[in-house]
Amino acid sequence: MSYFFTSESVSEGHPDKVADQISDALIDNFLAFDADSKVACETLVTTGQVVLAGEVKSNTYLDVQKIARDVINRIGYTKGEYMFDGNSCGVLSAIHEQSDDINRGVDRATKEEQGAGDQGMMFGYATNETENYMPLALDLSHLILKELAVLRRENKEITYLRPDAKSQVTIEYSDDNVPQRVEAVVVSTQHDDFGSDDEMLAKIRKDIKEILMPRVIAQLSPEIQALFNDDIKYHINPTGKFVIGGPHGDTGLTGRKIIVDTYGGKGAHGGGAFSGKDPSKVDRSAAYATRHIAKNLVAAGVADEVLVQVSYAIGVVEPMGIFVDTYGTAKVDLTDGEIAQKVSEIFDMRPHAIETRLQLRTPMYSETAAYGHMGRKNEVVSKTFTQPNGESKTMDVELFTWEKLDYVAKVKESFGL
């Protein structure tokens, strides 16, 4: 019997994602001027107010207020009527120096001996149901909101959009786990107050169906386009009105959208958030490393679907263990345990080795903080950072290094494929 699976996404203007983007902008600025910075920073956003808190060990000084304001303005919170805008909101910083008790478990005589920044387990997942090896429902949910943000910034075809939005997609799967059709699409978007409730709702529903969705579908492969039909259930602004939104409508916190950030509920999640953490925190770096492993395994043909788990103890260099689950889709004559053993031989999962392999001590994190950390485009971009004293630094930064298929050849050789 067929079954349904649903994933959701939230826009860059969602309060929790505003917080994530501020925290990761701080990470990038610290790393730009001191690549050895140790940072764990949290952000809270609410009506007219931003609170920054956390621990830092770094040789650089930043104007954290300006960084936060720049992020908020870039997202689109630039009007007083939103009750939260980058130019007028208060920014309170309670960032202090990192505890020596934590740092002593990380810093060692040589970087190769660097211990894990915390205990815990991290998961990476990949599936061949999409071109970027991501679950389809989440991929579509992200794409809907990315295109909605493009429409908002164009301000031509749809002129009433505000930054906050959410999406959700339900996919019908066959018994053998193949997507059959899109069952339902949910879009809730913040908007200007431009008429009666009925007039606004009718206009928004029409525009989402006739402007947004055709632009989304046009970007998909023919195989995925075929999953869309006239029977899809659309739920657009189901409450009927969404004028009050963003941090004024709901307080936002760093790290509250970890399923949106990863696999939309597919696979598994170890529970640790990513944003606001430098790569010595294995919550972040090892989650990227396990995604890198899972994606290269699937791309190499080891299995159609792979979940990889790694676990650590704080201050300990070697991981506690590596676990692999192929969900019965393995194409090699090996048990999942034997596959895990080969993975441990191919990929060095010591914290410093992960940082080096994925180039994680570069300021690459602002781009991860909205629309998912996984399944994104690996590319090199130029970024400029400025200190309070006016010193600027322009760098070429490679983004989403964990999405590279640079280990496929090694995997194929190891597995005899």
Q: Is 166 annotated as a binding residue?
A: yes
Is residue 298 within 8 A of residue 306, CB to CB? The reply is: yes
Residue with tokens 């920073």: 41
Q: Quick one: pLDDT at residue 198?
A: 94
Q: Quick one: pLDDT at residue 118?
A: 83
DSSP three-state, residue 64: helix
Q: Quick one: pLDDT at residue 117?
A: 76
Within 302-367, residue ranges assigned H as helices are 336-346, 351-357
175 pLDDT exceeds 80? yes
- Please report, in angstroms and rounded to a whole number, the separation of the first and last CA atoms in the chain: 33
Q: Is 165 annotated as a binding residue?
A: yes
Q: CA-CA distance, 5 to 155, in Å (whole number)?
A: 33
Q: CA-CA distance, 54 to 278, in Å (whole number)?
A: 12
Query: What single-letter amino acid sits at 65?
Result: Q
* CATH tag, 120-127+281-415: 3.30.300.10
Q: Under CATH, what is the fold of the domain 3-9+135-244?
A: GMP Synthetase; Chain A, domain 3 (3.30.300)
Q: Is 111 annotated as a binding residue?
A: no
DSSP class of 212: I
Q: Is 300 annotated as a binding residue?
A: no
Mean pLDDT of the chain: 95
Q: Is 415 annotated as a binding residue?
A: no
Q: Is 164 annotated as a binding residue?
A: yes
Q: Is 241 annotated as a binding residue?
A: yes
Q: Is 66 annotated as a binding residue?
A: no
Chain segment 203-235, per-residue pLDDT in tens: 999 999 999 999 999 999 999 999 999 999 999
Which pLDDT band, with edges at 50, 70 and 90, does 103 fall under? low
Q: Is 16 annotated as a binding residue?
A: yes
Q: Which residues contact 272 (CB under 8 A, 6 or more apart)?
A: 118, 120, 122, 258, 281, 283, 284, 287
- Per cent of the chain over pLDDT 70 is 97
Q: Quick one: pLDDT at residue 411?
A: 98
Q: CA-CA distance, 217 to 76, in Å (whole number)?
A: 25
Query: What single-letter amino acid sits at 271?
Result: G
Is residue 131 within 8 A of residue 221, CB to CB? The reply is: yes
Do the domains spanning 3-9+135-244 and 120-127+281-415 agree at the CATH topology level? Answer: yes
Q: Is 55 annotated as a binding residue?
A: yes
Residue in 344, 363, 372 with CA at minimum distance from that of residue 288? 372
Q: Is 184 annotated as a binding residue?
A: no
pTM: 0.95
What is 377-398 written as a DSSP string? Answer: PPEEEEEEEE-TTS-EEEEEEE
Could you state, in order of their start, the residue ranges of all structural domains in the chain?
A: 3-9+135-244, 120-127+281-415
Q: Is 156 annotated as a binding residue?
A: no
Q: CA-CA distance, 30 to 34, in Å (whole number)?
A: 6
Is residue 76 within 8 A of residue 17, CB to CB? The reply is: no
Q: What is the mean pLDDT of residues 274-298?
A: 97
Is residue 272 within 8 A of residue 121, CB to CB? The reply is: no
106 pLDDT exceeds 80? no
| Strand 233-236 with 179-191, pairing | parallel
Q: What is the mean pLDDT of residues 324-351?
A: 97
Q: Is 17 annotated as a binding residue?
A: no
Cβ–Cβ contacts within 10 Å for residue 175, how many?
A: 8
Q: Quick one: pLDDT at residue 165?
A: 98
Is residue 414 within 8 A of residue 379, CB to CB? The reply is: no
Q: Is 101 annotated as a binding residue?
A: no
Give Cα 322 to chain centroid, integer Å.
23
Which pLDDT band, with edges at 50, 70 and 90, does 116 fall under? confident
